[in-house]
């Protein structure tokens, strides 16, 4: 995952500090320097990093902290809060209302994932009962309309565009008018991205914005953008009234820190992230659970929401009971794997658990893991020794190496599973309180 390395580095710095016998100025400075280095290496803008360090030092004044204060806790909390502050501009984005027509304009550079994201955004709302529509006001890139048309048709979302008309403003106005008449409540305008920032792009965006008067302008940014992110985001903000950010390609391995800078540059919140090329690989973005997951502190409330969403009601108590016991058998693992897979990419699901590192379950490995678990289903791993593995291999016509690999898979998942031991089982409505406890 993007930023996974950053999360890992920060968690390690905090852990090292926790291992120190006493926390003095030197230990604190070492920890902060390590965090600073990690942020800079991830391409977070220098000024943001410096401000963060200064703020933490101001909050954590070791001399002032009376004995008995848990210094580690205070430092960890300060790091958590400062990261949240970078990602939270303090004012929410305009929220369109279902049933009332809103115009949402998408801007961003070509290749950032703008057109894909327009459709994902429309599809997300359509599933929630909205009536979205897509307007292609990109007359610059050949094939832009075809791409939007293809995506929209697949998702059964009405669209508007033209192969002949070369004036993006005219198309945007016509499209918005048509869909207002058709009582669509979310009219999404995709604009041209060109290939780099240039005066003509900004002028065109400004004109489309002036003519369609969008309720919200969303800036789409590729997570792999580096140090240039801040200036680029700011340039967009200066031309049109950017009110929200969507960061795409969060499923990749980019350093991702530039994306954090985009929030600071536009003073607008991230509202969604793109986590894949498919239509439903799109997630609502919440600052605190995200930072919590980034630092390996988990997001139990998100995890519980997922369980309530995908596991059939009658199976929920049993699953939650088993999770809380941390009692892990291959049979449970196999049975529940079906349910867990429904929750989403498994690495993402498990990253909601405290202490989880996304390296434990790389994306794309889930099917493989499931198949391996199925093969091991009837074995009791505690009783597994060399001769038993040999027998299993012979009996199933496999190499001993395959059986050993399956055992490794089991151990890896068992490690994840064991983190759930002692998990309190919240009822709906109790979830946020639980999350607060876990994150405290």
Minimum CB distance to ligand GDP smaller for 134 or for 392: 134
Return the structure tokens found at 159: 């669209």
Please state, in angstroms and rounded to a whole number, the distance separating the CA atoms of residues 140 and 192. Answer: 6
Please state, in angstroms and rounded to a whole number, the distance separating the CA atoms of residues 304 and 17. Answer: 31
251 is a site residue for ligand GDP (CB under 6 A): yes
Give the C-alpha distances (Å, rounded to integers) separating 76 from 109, 292, 417. 36, 11, 25
Minimum CB distance to ligand GDP smaller for 76 or for 112: 112
- Nearest distance from residue 249's CB to ligand GDP, in Å? 4
Minimum CB distance to ligand GDP smaller for 45 or for 112: 112
Task: Choose the binding region for ligand GDP from 234-242, 247-255, 307-315, 415-423 (rule: CB under 6 A).
Answer: 247-255
Burial label, 61 (beta-carbon count in 10 A; 0-12, 13-18, 19+): exposed
Minimum CB distance to ligand GDP smaller for 171 or for 311: 171
348 is a site residue for ligand GDP (CB under 6 A): no
Return the structure tokens found at 416: 């994840």
- Nearest distance from residue 282's CB to ligand GDP, in Å? 8
- Nearest distance from residue 186's CB to ligand GDP, in Å? 18
Please state, in angstroms and rounded to a whole number, the distance separating the CA atoms of residues 266 and 172. Answer: 24
96 is a site residue for ligand GDP (CB under 6 A): no
H or E stretch including 134?
A: strand 132-137
Report the helix count and the strand count for the chain, using DSSP H and E: 19, 8
First to last CA, the chain: 24
- Nearest distance from residue 89's CB to ligand GDP, in Å? 22
111 is a site residue for ligand GDP (CB under 6 A): yes
- For the chain, what is the radius of gyration of the CA atoms? 25
DSSP symbol at 364: T
275 is a site residue for ligand GDP (CB under 6 A): yes
Task: Choose the binding region for ligand GDP from 64-72, 275-283, 355-363, 417-425 (rule: CB under 6 A).
Answer: 275-283
Are residues 176 and 165 in contact, defined by beta-carbon separation less than 8 angstroms? no
- Nearest distance from residue 148's CB to ligand GDP, in Å? 9
Closest Cα partner for 79 from 99, 62, 59, 63?
59
Task: Choose the binding region for ligand GDP from 81-89, 271-279, 326-334, 376-384 (rule: CB under 6 A).
Answer: 271-279
Return the structure tokens found at 241: 């009234």
Binding ligand GDP by CB under 6 A: which of 12, 34, 149, 276? 276
Task: Choose the binding region for ligand GDP from 28-36, 71-79, 105-113, 225-233 (rule: CB under 6 A).
Answer: 105-113
Please state, in angstroms and rounded to a whole number, the distance separating the CA atoms of residues 399 and 323. Answer: 33
Please state, in angstroms and rounded to a whole number, the distance separating the CA atoms of residues 134 and 126. Answer: 12
Please state, in angstroms and rounded to a whole number, the distance separating the CA atoms of residues 142 and 126. Answer: 28
What backbone torsions phi and psi does residue 393 show, to the nearest 5 degrees?
-60, -45
- 114-143 positions binding ligand GDP, by CB under 6 A: 114-116
Please state, in angstroms and rounded to a whole number, the distance separating the CA atoms of residues 293 and 2. Answer: 12
Binding ligand GDP by CB under 6 A: which of 96, 113, 269, 344? 113
- Nearest distance from residue 299's CB to ligand GDP, in Å? 20
Task: Choose the binding region for ligand GDP from 94-102, 107-115, 256-264, 378-386 (rule: CB under 6 A).
Answer: 107-115
Q: How many residues does the chain have?
A: 440
Q: How many CA atoms lie within 13 A of 73 on its CB side?
A: 8
- 31-60 positions binding ligand GDP, by CB under 6 A: none
- Nearest distance from residue 268's CB to ligand GDP, in Å? 18
Are residues 256 and 231 in contact, defined by beta-carbon separation less than 8 angstroms? no
Binding ligand GDP by CB under 6 A: which of 193, 243, 302, 345? 193
Minimum CB distance to ligand GDP smaller for 277 or for 359: 277
362 is a site residue for ligand GDP (CB under 6 A): no
191 is a site residue for ligand GDP (CB under 6 A): no
CA angle 26, 39, 24 (to 5 degrees): 10
Binding ligand GDP by CB under 6 A: which of 125, 249, 255, 293? 249
Task: Choose the binding region for ligand GDP from 31-39, 74-82, 274-282, 335-343 (rule: CB under 6 A).
Answer: 274-282
Are residues 194 and 109 in contact, defined by beta-carbon separation less than 8 angstroms? yes
Binding ligand GDP by CB under 6 A: which of 7, 89, 96, 108? 108
Total number of residues binding ligand GDP (CB under 6 A)? 17
Binding region for ligand GDP (CB under 6 A): 108, 110-116, 193, 248-249, 251-252, 274-277
């Amino acid at each position: 995952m993007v930023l996974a390395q950053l999360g890992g580095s920060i968690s390690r710095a905090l852990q090292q500090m926790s291992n120190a016998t006493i926390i003095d100025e030197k230990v604190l400075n070492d920890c902060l320097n390590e965090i600073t280095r990690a942020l800079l290496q991830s391409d977070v803008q220098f000024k943001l990093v410096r401000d963060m360090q200064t703020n933490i030092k101001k909050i954590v004044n070791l001399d002032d902290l009376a004995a008995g204060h848990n210094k580690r806790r205070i430092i960890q909390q300060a790091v958590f809060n400062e990261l949240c502050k970078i990602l939270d501009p303090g004012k929410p984005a305009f929220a369109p209302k279902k049933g009332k027509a809103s115009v949402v304009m998408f801007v961003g550079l070509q290749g950032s994932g703008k057109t894909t994201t327009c459709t994902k955004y429309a599809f997300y709302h359509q599933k929630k009962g909205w009536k979205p529509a897509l307007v292609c006001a990109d007359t610059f890139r050949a094939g832009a309309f075809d791409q939007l048309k293809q995506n929209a048709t697949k998702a059964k979302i009405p669209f508007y565009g033209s192969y002949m008309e070369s004036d993006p403003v005219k198309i945007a106005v016509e499209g918005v008018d048509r869909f207002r008449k058709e009582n669509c409540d979310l009219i999404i305008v995709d604009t041209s991205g060109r290939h780099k920032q240039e005066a003509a792009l900004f002028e065109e965006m400004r004109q489309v914005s002036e003519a369609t008067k969008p309720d919200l302008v969303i800036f789409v940014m590729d997570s792999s953008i580096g140090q240039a992110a801040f200036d680029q985001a700011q340039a967009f903000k200066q031309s049109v009234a950017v009110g929200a950010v969507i960061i795409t390609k969060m499923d990749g391995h980019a350093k991702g820190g530039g994306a954090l800078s985009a929030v600071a540059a536009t003073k607008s919140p991230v509202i969604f992230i793109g986590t894949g090329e498919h239509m439903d690989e799109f997630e609502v973005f919440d600052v605190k659970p995200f930072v919590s997951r980034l630092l390996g502190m988990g997001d139990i409330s998100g995890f519980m929401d997922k369980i309530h969403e995908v596991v059939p009601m009658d199976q929920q108590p049993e699953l939650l009971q088993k999770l809380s016991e941390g009692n892990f058998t291959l049979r449970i693992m196999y049975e529940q794997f079906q349910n867990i897979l429904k929750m989403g990419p498994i690495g993402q699901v498990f990253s909601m658990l405290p202490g989880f590192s996304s390296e434990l379950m790389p994306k794309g490995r889930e099917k493989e893991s499931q198949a391996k678990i199925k093969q091991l289903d009837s074995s009791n791993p505690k009783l597994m020794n060399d001769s038993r593995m040999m027998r299993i291999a012979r009996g199933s016509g496999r190499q001993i190496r395959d059986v050993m690999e399956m055992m490794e898979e089991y151990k890896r998942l068992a490690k994840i599973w064991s983190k759930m031991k002692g998990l309190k089982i919240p009822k709906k409505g109790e979830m946020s309180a639980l999350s607060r406890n876990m994150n405290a």
